[in-house]
Amino acid sequence: SQPLDLRLPTPGCYNDPERAGLDAKSVFDGMTEHLFFTLGKLAPTASRHDLYMALSYAVRDRLMMRYLATTEAMRAHPQKSVAYLSAEFLIGPQLNNNLLNLGIQQEAEAALRNFGIESLQQILDVEEEPGLGNGGLGRLAACYMESLASLKIPATGYGIRYEFGIFDQLIRDGWQVEITDKWLKGGWPWELPQPDEACFVGFGGRTESYIDDKGSYRSRWIPAEHAIGIPHDVPVLGYRVNICDRLRLWRADATESFDFYAFNIGDYYGAVEEKVGSETLSKVLYPNDGTDEGRRLRLKQQHFFVSCSLQDMLRSLDNRGLPVEDFPKYWTVQLNDTHPAIAVAELMRLLIDDRHMDWDKAWDITSRSVAYTNHTLLPEALEKWDLNLFSSLLPRHLELIYEINRRFLQQLRLRYPGNDAIQRKLSIIDEDGSKAVRMAHLATIGAHHVNGVAALHSDLVKTDLLPEFAELWPEKFTNVTNGVTPRRWVALANPELSTLLNEHIGEDWISNMENLRKLEERQNDQGFLEHWGNTKLSVKRKLASYIHRNTGVLVDPSTLFDVQVKRIHEYKRQHLNVLQVITQYLRIKNGQADGMAPRTVIFGGKAAPGYYMAKLIIRFINGIAETVNADPDMDGRLRVVFLPDYNVKLGEQVYPASDLSEQISTAGKEASGTGNMKFAMNGALTIGTLDGANVEIRELVGAENFFLFGKTVEEINDLKRSGYNPGAFINAMPELQEALRLIEMGHFSNGDSELFRPLLDNLTGHDPFFVMADFADYLRAQEAVSLAWTDRMHWNRMSLLNTARTGFFSSDRSIGEYCENIWNVGPLNVDITCDVR
Ligand code: NBX
C-alpha cells in the first residue's frame, strides 16, 4: 500500500526576513502544521471547518510577532496607552480582516487551493462571529480598536468574554424567536487565555474602619464573595502596520479557595453553588439596546470587568517599575457610555484603600485619567441603580460615591448659594422617589472630558441632558463625531468597489479616506458612471442570491434596493417605513403608480426579547411581506424582505448592495448612527431626517445628493409643547387612512383584525415618535427618490459623490480627534526586526 502523505511543514517558516512567513508557501506550511499538531487532522480528510481553524491559527501565528513586539516596545519604552472600557465589543468575523490587514488575502487563497478549496469565501463562510454586543455602541468600540491599531496607538480594549453573546434570531410565522448564541461551540481560534494574569473581584459584604501601622484611620471593604477574572486576549492588528493592539476580555471563574469551610463541613452542594454563581457573571450579554433593566447581575458584570481592568492597568505600572502617581501619564481611560462608570469609584478605592493614597491625590489621578462618551439621550437608557441594590453589592463604592458627591455639592453651593434645586438636580444620588445612583452624573463629575457622538447630539447633551454641568464646566464638554473603519466596511465588505477605486485613484484611500475626494474628477465621466453602476449591480446580484437562499424570496437586482438594517426600535421608526410601503402597494393596486421606481424593500434587525412593540413591528414587516410578495400585481414592482439574524457578517453583504439607506429616526433621538456612514461610503443615497450624524452626512455630500424629510428637533419640541395630536395629521391624509384601515381589517394578517391593534392604537393614540407627523413629508421624499431613480446616470453620479465625500466618517478621523483633544496620546513605532523570540 501507498505510504501516508503527512505533508509535514517546513520548519521555521518565519525565519525568512523578506516575507516573515507571509508568502503562500509559508501559509500553506503553517496550515499543514496546525492541521496536524493542533487539530489532529490529516489534510485529505480535513473538513472546511478544520481548514478554517488551521488557516486562522496560521494567521494568528503571524500576528504574534507583531503583538509581542508591541508588548515589548511598551515594556522597554513606556508611553501612554488607551484603555477603552466597554461592556460590548461587536468585532465581527476575524479571519478576513486579519488577512486584509496583513496583506495576504491572495496568499491565503493560493494556500487553500492546495487543499482543494477554490475560493477563500468558502472558508470565510464557515466563521462564526462573536456577538459580544447589541448594536451601534458595541460595533463602534470594534471600529475604534481597529483604527487605534492602524494609527499605531498603543491600546487595550477591556470588556467581558460573554459565553453567550447576542441571541441568534429566527423568524417563525413572522415572529422573532431567540436562540442562544453558542459562538464558542466549534472552538474560537482568535483568543489567548492568560490565566497567570487573573484578578480577584469582591462583591457584597461590609466595610470597616481600622487604624493602620502608621496610626492613621482607614477604611476597608470585606466582601462576602469573590470572583476571579481570567483575561482572554484577542490580538487587534492594524492595517499594514507592525503594531498589534489587543482586546482583553475577562471570563469569570469561581474562587476555589473560598468555600473550603462549606466544603469541609460536608456542604458539597453549597460549595458548588458558589462556583456556579460566580461563573454566571460572564455567562450572557444583556440583549437590550437602549433600555436599562437595573438588574443585579448586570451591575455585577459591570463592576467585575471594570475592577479587573483597573487592577490590570495598575499592575502594568508596577511590573515596569513606574510609580502609581504616574497613572495618568501612562493610561487614559475611556468609558464607552456609563456601563463602565463604576470605574470612577473603583479607581478611587484601589488608590485609597489598597495603595493608601490620600483623597486629593487619588481624585487628581482619577479625574485626570477618565473620560466619558455619552451615546444616548433616551431617558430609559440612562443608567440608575437602586440604592439598596447598589449598597448591598458595592458598599465601599457607595461610601466613596457619597464622599465624591459631598465634595461636589459643596462646590455647587459655593457657585450657586441658596439654590437647593440645582443640588437636587445634579446630585449623584437621585432622591426623587426611591433613591438611586445616577451613573451619568458620576461619570460626568469624574471625567476630564464628556463627549457626544455627533455634532447635533453633543449640542443636545449640553442643552438638554446635562445643561447645568455644561454651564459649570464648559471646557469639559466636546464632540467627536463617530466613524467606521474603511478596512472592514469598504475594502473587505466591498471588494468590487475597492478594485474600482484602486484602479482609478490608487490604494491610498484605505488608510487615508479623504483621498476618495479624487473621485469627484470622474463625476461627469459617462463611461466611469456606467462602470460605477455596473459595479453596484454585480454586488446586488450576490445579495439577491443570498436573499433567495435564506428567505425563499426572489428579488430582481435591477430594482432599487431600499434598505433599513439596524436594531428594531420605535424611535428608529421601521413602522414609518412599512406604512410607506403599504401606500406604494395601494397605489399599484389602484393603478396610480406611474413613475414609481420598482423597489425591493429590505429590513433586518433584532428586537430586545422583552420589547413587545419592537417584536410586533417585526411581525408587521413580515405580514406586509407575505401579502405583497404573494400578489401577482406586485411582480416587477414591489418586493418586501425581512432578513433574519442581522449581524456584522450580514451587514458586510448588505451595505455594499444598497441603493437607498433609510435613516428615518425621530429628530433628536438617534445619537449618531453609524450604519448611515457605512451605506453612504458604499455609494447608497440617504433618505433621512435631520438627526444624529445624518446632519453632517448631508452637509458633506451636499443637500442635492441627500433626500431630506421630516420635522427638526425644534419642530418636534414645538409639537410636544402645543399638545401633539396624531389624529389631526391622519385626517389630512386619505392615503394614510386607507393604509390604516387595511391593517385594521386584517389585510396583512390573514384576516386577523386584532393582531396589529396595539401598534395601530399606539400610532393613532399617543404616537410617541411622531410617525404620523412625518408621514406626508416622508412620502414626498420617497417620490423624489423614485423620480431620481429614473435618470440612472444622474443617480450614479449622486452615488459616486456620496462615496467621494464621506471620507470624514472614517474612524481614523474620529480616533485622531480623541487622541488629539481628549487622550493626548501619540503613535508607537515598532520595529519587528527587534528580537522578540
Ligand atoms: O450608539 C448607539 C446609538 O443609538 C447610536 O446612535 C450611535 O451611533 C451608537 C454609537 O455611538 N447606542 C447604542 O448602541 N446603545 C446600546 O447598544 C446600549 C446597550 C446596552 C444598554 C444601553 C444601550 N444597556
Cell 393603478, residue?
591
Q: Is residue 827 part of a domain?
A: no
Of the pLDDT bands very low, low, confident and very high (cuts 50, 70, 90), residue 836 is very low
Q: What is the mean pLDDT of residues 795-809?
A: 98
Residues 547, 559: Cα–Cα separation, whole Å:
14
Q: Is residue 814 part of a domain?
A: no
Residues 439, 822: Cα–Cα separation, whole Å:
21
Sheet holding 599-604, edge to edge: 638-643, 599-604, 560-565, 660-663, 685-688, 707-708
What pLDDT is recorded for position 785? Answer: 98
Q: Is residue 671 part of a domain?
A: yes
pLDDT in tens, 209-259: 999 999 999 999 999 999 999 999 999 999 999 899 999 999 999 875 555
pLDDT in tens, 299-316: 999 999 999 999 999 999
Enter the ipTM.
0.97
Of the pLDDT bands very low, low, confident and very high (cuts 50, 70, 90), residue 379 is confident
What pLDDT is recorded for position 732? Answer: 98
Given 450, 482, 514, which residue is the final one in a domain?
482
> How far, in Å, is the centroid of ligand 1 from the Cα of 138?
7
In sequence order, what are the residues at sequence separation of 6 or more whose Cβ sits closer than 8 angstroms to the Cβ of residue 162?
Answer: 132, 282, 283, 284, 285
Given 482, 501, 524, which residue is the final one in a domain?
482
What is the number of structural domains in the chain? 3
Q: Which residue has the higher pLDDT, 272 or 763?
A: 763
Residues 630, 666, single domain; the answer is yes
**Ligand 1, CB within 6 Å, residue ranges:** 134-137, 140, 288-290, 292, 375-376, 381, 453, 482, 670-674, 692
Residues 279, 327, single domain; the answer is yes
What pLDDT is recorded for position 162? Answer: 98
Q: Is residue 822 part of a domain?
A: no
Helix H or strand E encompassing 153: none
Q: What is the mean pLDDT of residues 400-415?
A: 98
Q: Determine the distance from the C-alpha atom of residue 46 to the mean position of all C-alpha atoms in its chain, rounded to a whole number.
A: 34
Question: Residue 18: which domain range?
Answer: 1-77+106-119
What pLDDT is recorded for position 19? Answer: 59
What pLDDT is recorded for position 6? Answer: 44
Given 482, 511, 545, which residue is the final one in a domain?
482
Q: Is the pLDDT of residue 814 over 90?
A: yes
Residues 299, 420, single domain; the answer is yes
Residues 797, 768, single domain; the answer is yes
Cell 487551493, residue?
113
pLDDT in tens, 699-732: 999 999 999 999 999 999 999 999 999 999 999 9
Q: Is 678 a catalytic residue?
A: yes
pLDDT in tens, 435-462: 999 999 999 999 999 999 999 999 999 9
Residues 423, 534, single domain; the answer is no
> How far, in Å, is the centroid of ligand 1 from the Cα of 88?
10
Q: Is residue 23 part of a domain?
A: yes
What pLDDT is recorded for position 294? Answer: 76
Residues 228, 202, single domain; the answer is yes
CA dihedral 607, 611, 615, 620 (to 10 degrees): -120
Residues 68, 177, single domain; the answer is no
DSSP H helices, 490-525, are 495-505
What pLDDT is recorded for position 835? Answer: 41
Residue 324 sits in a domain whose CATH number is: 3.40.50.2000
**CB 451 within 8 Å of CB 476:** no
Beta bridge partners, 478, equal: 451
Of the pLDDT bands very low, low, confident and very high (cuts 50, 70, 90), residue 266 is low
Instruction: Work out the percent of the chain whose per-residue pLDDT is above 70.
Output: 94
Residues 293, 363, single domain; the answer is yes
pLDDT in tens, 630-685: 999 999 999 999 999 999 999 999 999 999 999 999 999 999 999 999 999 999 99
Which cell is 39 given? Answer: 487539530
Q: Is residue 744 part of a domain?
A: yes
Residues 449, 500, single domain; the answer is no
Residues 355, 493, single domain; the answer is no
Least confident range of 95-104, 274-283, 751-760: 274-283
> How far, in Å, is the centroid of ligand 1 from the Cα of 565?
15
Which cell is 705 given? Answer: 445628493
pLDDT in tens, 557-601: 999 999 999 999 999 999 999 999 999 999 999 999 999 999 999
Q: Is the pLDDT of residue 611 over 80?
A: yes
Q: Which of 349, 487, 488, 567 is catalytic?
A: 567
Residues 518, 565, single domain; the answer is yes
Cell 445612583, residue?
437
Residues 359, 381, single domain; the answer is yes
Q: Which of 34, 339, 375, 615 is catalytic?
A: 375
Q: Is residue 601 part of a domain?
A: yes
Q: Which of 303, 339, 449, 572 is catalytic?
A: 572
What pLDDT is recorded for position 255? Answer: 72
Looking at the CA of residue 693, tell me the nearest atom of ligand 1.
Answer: 8
Helix (H, G, I), strand (E, B) or coil at 159: strand
Average pLDDT, the chain: 95
Q: Is 356 a catalytic residue?
A: no
Q: Is 711 a catalytic residue?
A: no
Q: Is residue 837 part of a domain?
A: no
